[in-house]
């Protein structure tokens, strides 16, 4: 289940990079609008909770590596992901992992 969640994370994040971020960056307003940012943060929290291990915090580096061919307008998408990883994506994954770690003993006890 953990690796399946990590693969699902990679597929969803790559889809965002190739279908939204890459083609629309610089041509259509802001591809990181409030709904897109909220969806991405929610995806990261869910992925962290589904995986439940601290290695999940490193997944944005894999997302960045997958996104190398996604171009972007003036800055490559993979560079933007690496820049945002420490203050957006990694903390969201860590919140998901922490939620799972805090909730899991309570669910197991019942």
Q: How does pLDDT run across 88-100, given as a tens digit for each residue?
A: 999 999 999 999 9
8 A C-beta contact, residue 25 and residue 79: no
Sign, CA torsion 53/4/64/93: negative
User: How far is residue 35's CA from residue 56's CA, in Å, rounded to a whole number?
Assistant: 24
At residue 23, the pLDDT reads 66
At residue 106, the pLDDT reads 65
At residue 38, the pLDDT reads 87
Residue 42 tokens read as 């929610």
Residue 27 burial by Cβ neighbours in a 10 Å radius (0-12, 13-18, 19+): exposed
The label of the residue with tokens 């203050």 reads 87
Domain positions in the chain are 2-109
Q: How does pLDDT run across 15-46, given as a tens digit for each residue?
A: 888 887 766 665 665 656 777 788 889 999 99
């Amino acid at each position: 289940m953990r690796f399946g969640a990590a693969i699902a994370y990679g597929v969803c994040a790559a889809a965002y990079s190739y279908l939204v971020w890459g083609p629309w960056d610089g041509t259509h307003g802001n591809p990181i609008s409030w709904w897109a940012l909220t969806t991405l943060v929610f995806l990261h929290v869910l992925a962290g909770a589904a995986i439940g291990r601290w290695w999940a915090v490193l997944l944005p580096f894999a997302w960045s590596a997958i996104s190398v061919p996604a171009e972007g307008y003036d800055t490559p998408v993979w560079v933007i992901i690496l820049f945002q990883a420490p203050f957006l994506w990694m903390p969201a994954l860590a919140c998901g992992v922490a939620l799972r770690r805090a909730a899991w003993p309570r669910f197991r006890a019942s």
